[in-house]
Each structure stands twice: as structure tokens, then as C-alpha cells.
Amino acid sequence: MKIEKRSGPAELPSGSELREILEKEAIRLPPRQKLKIHYPDFHLFYQWMELLRLDTTVMEAATHPDEVLQWGSESLQRAVGTTIANKDDASFKDLFVVIARYLGEEDHPAPVDAVMVFGGSSLKRIEKGVELLRKGIANRLIISGGNPNYRQNALPEAIKFLRYTLANGVPKDAILMELNSISIPDNVKTTLNLLDNFGVRYRRLAIVLPWFAQRRGWAHMMKFSSPGVSVLRVNSEIISQELLPTSWFTNEMGIKLIFNEFVKMKVAVLLNTA
């Protein structure tokens, strides 16, 4: 059976597409000490859904990712419409600001053993990674990213990032790169496997993502990194006005993206990868 590919990052995968993605992702088990630990928190999402009068019983009680994906697909359009209809309501806006703050929480810059830049369509991520190296935060840059499952035939994102990095004076021997990962958890597992294979020792890593994906990237990194490893979060700049922390709730694309971030994190909890 042919699997229909979703059209972009603001869409949820189907259950069959999720299984296809999981078959392609790198293999890595969480450390034994973290097997029963989950890093995402959903209370803000549930508050949002309560304001929208959307029942989250299925999502909260789900035991299989397909249940969450189905609930998300069935609830998304209502979440979009009702959120836009209430975008100027003070109680809604206050919660939306807190949601953005939670997803995009950053850490104070500090020296790390390496800066990891997750793949993406915007060069703003790699610009931030190079900026951190120039500031002396680290002397090693990790570039991670092939292409998402819905865009497999394009030039790997890591290649585009590498070209930018070299053109901006970063020495080639300061760069580690992988160009096969297809998702955020795959970025994490593939990169940590790469560091292990090269015998790279690290106790502190900085990860670069846009604010809306930062919590999910951090949760996966915390799940799979060794106990005692610190993960510092750094947000890259956002170009689209629709995706700013102060405006995401005013438009369909922004609402879909944030709604789906929480759904994807719930799927990751059920898969025990976050």
C-alpha cells in the first residue's frame, strides 16, 4: 500500500507514516536510569484545550501512538478555529504567552563541549550555531539533518548547513556532520551514536532549534544522553511573523504547529523516546 506523504511540518503523520519513519530512524536505547523518566509536561496544553472546550480524555489516557495521532487529527481544525476566534481574549492570550515561554525556554549561554544544530529549512539555525562558536561557547560544531520524511529527494539539510559554515570561516576539522536523520528524535539518536563512534567525550552540549521545537528537541536529548550530561537550549531566529512567540495563536499555521508539537511529544512519551 502506498503511504501518502504529508505536505509539510505543520501536519501530523498518519499512523502508517509514523511506523515508516520509525523503521528508518537510528537505533539507540535510553540509558537504564532514564527508562521510566519522561521530560515533556502537558498541563499547559490541557489548559488550552479546556479553554477551547475540547475533550482531552483520549489523549491523556492513550496507550498507543495511533490513538494520539487520531485524536490530534480529529481535533486540530476545531482547535484552530476556536483559538483564532478567541485570540484577543485576555485569558487566552495570557495562556498563549506562557505556552510559548514553556516551549521556547532557553538557558544562559555557557561553555559547552559542542554545539549541535538540528537540520531545518531555514539557515537561521546554522547562523546561530556559527555565532556561538565565534563567541567561544564551543570549538566543535555538530550539524545534523538529512531531510524529513515528506521531503526525501532534496539536498540534505546538513549539506546546506555545511556550505554556510565553511563559507563563514569555521575550520573543517571543527565540524562533525551526519546527513541521514529524518526527524528530531532521529537527529538526537544519530548524533549521539556518532559521538560515541568517534569516541568524543562530552559533559555539556548546546542544542540549536527554533523556539517552538526547542522543548521537544531538549526532551529527546535528555532522554537519550547519558546521566550527568547537561543540555543547554539556544533558540534560533524566526523569520516568519506567523510563528513568533507573540503571534503564533493568531493564524492557522502557527496554531497547527504548536498544537502538533504537544501531540508529537505525547507520541514520544508513549514510544519512550522523550
47 and 66 part of one domain: yes
pLDDT, tens only, 213-271: 999 999 999 999 999 999 999 999 999 999 999 999 999 999 999 999 999 999 999 99
d(CA 119, CA 108): 22
120 and 182 part of one domain: yes
**For residue 8, is it within any domain?**
no
**For residue 106, is it within any domain?**
no
CB 116 within 8 A of CB 142: yes
234 and 142 part of one domain: yes
Q: Which of 100, 101, 60, 55 is nearest to 79 (CA)?
A: 55
Residues 6+ apart with CB under 8 A from 155: none
Res 14: pLDDT: 86
Q: Which helix (H) or strand (E) holds 90?
A: helix 90-103
Res 249: pLDDT: 97
pLDDT, tens only, 161-218: 999 999 999 999 999 999 989 999 999 999 999 999 999 999 999 999 999 999 999 9
Res 46: pLDDT: 98
Across 33-69, b (16+ Cβ under 10 Å) vs e yields ebeeebbbebebbeebbebbebebeebeebeebebbb
Per the structure, the count of domains in the chain is: 2
pLDDT, tens only, 77-94: 999 999 999 999 999 999
DSSP 118-170: E--S-THHHHHHHHHHHTTS-S-EEEE----TT--SSPPHHHHHHHHHHHTT-
**For residue 212, is it within any domain?**
yes
267 and 193 part of one domain: no
Q: What is the CATH number of the domain that holds 151?
A: 3.40.50.620
130 and 199 part of one domain: yes
Arithmetic mean of pLDDT, 120-129: 94
Hey, how many other C-beta atoms are within 10 angstroms of the C-beta on 3? 12
**For residue 100, is it within any domain?**
no
118 and 233 part of one domain: yes
Res 32: pLDDT: 97
131 and 226 part of one domain: yes
Q: What type of residue is 69?
A: L
**For residue 28, is it within any domain?**
no
* Containing structural domain, residue 57: 42-87+249-274
123 and 222 part of one domain: yes
143 and 228 part of one domain: yes
End-to-end CA separation in angstroms for the chain: 30
Q: How confident is the model at residue 4 (pLDDT cuts 50, 70, 90)?
A: very low
**For residue 20, is it within any domain?**
no
Indicate the pairing of strand 204-210 with strand 230-236: parallel
Residue 7 pLDDT more than 50?
A: no
48 and 154 part of one domain: no
CB 112 within 8 A of CB 205: yes
Q: What type of residue is 269?
A: V
Mean of per-residue pLDDT scores for the chain: 93
81 and 178 part of one domain: no
Residue 5 pLDDT more than 70?
A: no
121 and 203 part of one domain: yes
